[in-house]
Chains A and B, each alone.
Chain A
Amino acid sequence: AQKITQTQPGMFVQEKEAVTLDCTYDTSDQSYGLFWYKQPSSGEMIFLIYQGSYDEQNATEGRYSLNFQKARKSANLVISASQLGDSAMYFCAMREGEAPKTSYDKVIFGPGTSLSVIP
């Protein structure tokens, strides 16, 4: 079963508009972290924002905010005032809590959403 779901393979947004990228996750751990990364065509993964499972406030970093709904297991990324440079792949990822060394796949990435910003 997929642990990270990003239902939007591709999205378009008008420059200066806000856009929400969806992410749902599945875990039975109480302690986990959720991340969003941006990957431009150059290939480098750029860390955007982090939300811990125990954080009560939604994380914000500049134009990025994370809409964290724990009960729904949802961690959507909101980009405000889109810019042309925001065109990239966006990945939602989860890192689950501590486990025995025999545990595998503790860091999971979603399939990504391709965002295109239109001038």
Chain B
Amino acid sequence: KAGVTQTPRYLIKTRGQQVTLSCSPISGHRSVSWYQQTPGQGLQFLFEYFSETQRNKGNFPGRFSGRQFSNSRSEMNVSTLELGDSALYLCASSVLGGLGEQYFGPGTRLTVT
């Protein structure tokens, strides 16, 4: 069974631009969660989608948004990029979300200059 895939793997953007990251979950998984990992803040939960609905949300500004499609693929969008948005963005999928285990993708490393 194929794992979680994320595209692109690396991205360089300038301040003020916007970016869209994509995540394809493991086949059959309906929950997709997004995380931001930085050296200073560690791993922080962004949001979780289940059956095209945002079910949980972390403490991030409205510049961070996401969506999930009917095939469970998910996209995350960051508008008006700031230098502090430079991070590894990880996507994780699970069958039902909630208390089940998650499987992570390789991440997208975003650098904002």
A binds B: yes
Interface residues of A (CB under 8 A from B): 31-33, 35, 37, 42-47, 50, 52, 91, 93, 95, 97-98, 101, 103-112
Please tell me if the beta carbons of B42 and A109 are within 8 angstroms of each other in the complex: yes
Cα–Cα distance between A52 and B105 once the two chains are bound (Å): 23
B49 adjacent to chain A (CB < 8 Å) = no
Cα–Cα distance between A110 and B44 once the two chains are bound (Å): 10
Please tell me if the beta carbons of B59 and A109 are within 8 angstroms of each other in the complex: no
Q: Can you report 6 residue pairs joining A to B where beta carbons are below 8 Å apart? A: A44-B107, A95-B99, A101-B57, A105-B58, A109-B43, A109-B44
Cα–Cα distance between A39 and B100 once the two chains are bound (Å): 19
Measured between beta carbons, the chain A residues less than 8 angstroms from B100 are 33, 50
Interface residues of B (CB under 8 A from A): 33, 35, 42-45, 48, 55-59, 88, 90, 92, 98-107, 109
The count of A-to-B residue pairs whose CB atoms sit within 8 angstroms is 63
Name A95's closest neighbour in chain B (CB-CB).
B99
Cα–Cα distance between A32 and B102 once the two chains are bound (Å): 14
Cα–Cα distance between A42 and B104 once the two chains are bound (Å): 13
Name A44's closest neighbour in chain B (CB-CB).
B106
Enumerate the 6 nearest inter-chain pairs by beta-carbon distance, A residue then B residue, closest first: A45-B104, A109-B43, A33-B99, A107-B45, A50-B101, A44-B106
Q: Report the minimal beta-carbon distance from B76 to chain A, rounded to whole angstroms.
A: 15
Q: Report the minimal beta-carbon distance from A108 to chain B, rounded to whole angstroms.
A: 7
Cα–Cα distance between A42 and B100 once the two chains are bound (Å): 25
Measured between beta carbons, the chain A residues less than 8 angstroms from B88 are 43
Please tell me if the beta carbons of A107 and B33 are within 8 angstroms of each other in the complex: yes
Please tell me if the beta carbons of A32 and B105 are within 8 angstroms of each other in the complex: no
Q: Contacts A43-B107, A108-B45, A112-B42: A103 and B99 contacting too (C-beta < 8 A)?
A: no
Cα–Cα distance between A44 and B58 once the two chains are bound (Å): 21
Measured between beta carbons, the chain A residues less than 8 angstroms from B102 are 35, 47
Please tell me if the beta carbons of A45 and B101 are within 8 angstroms of each other in the complex: no
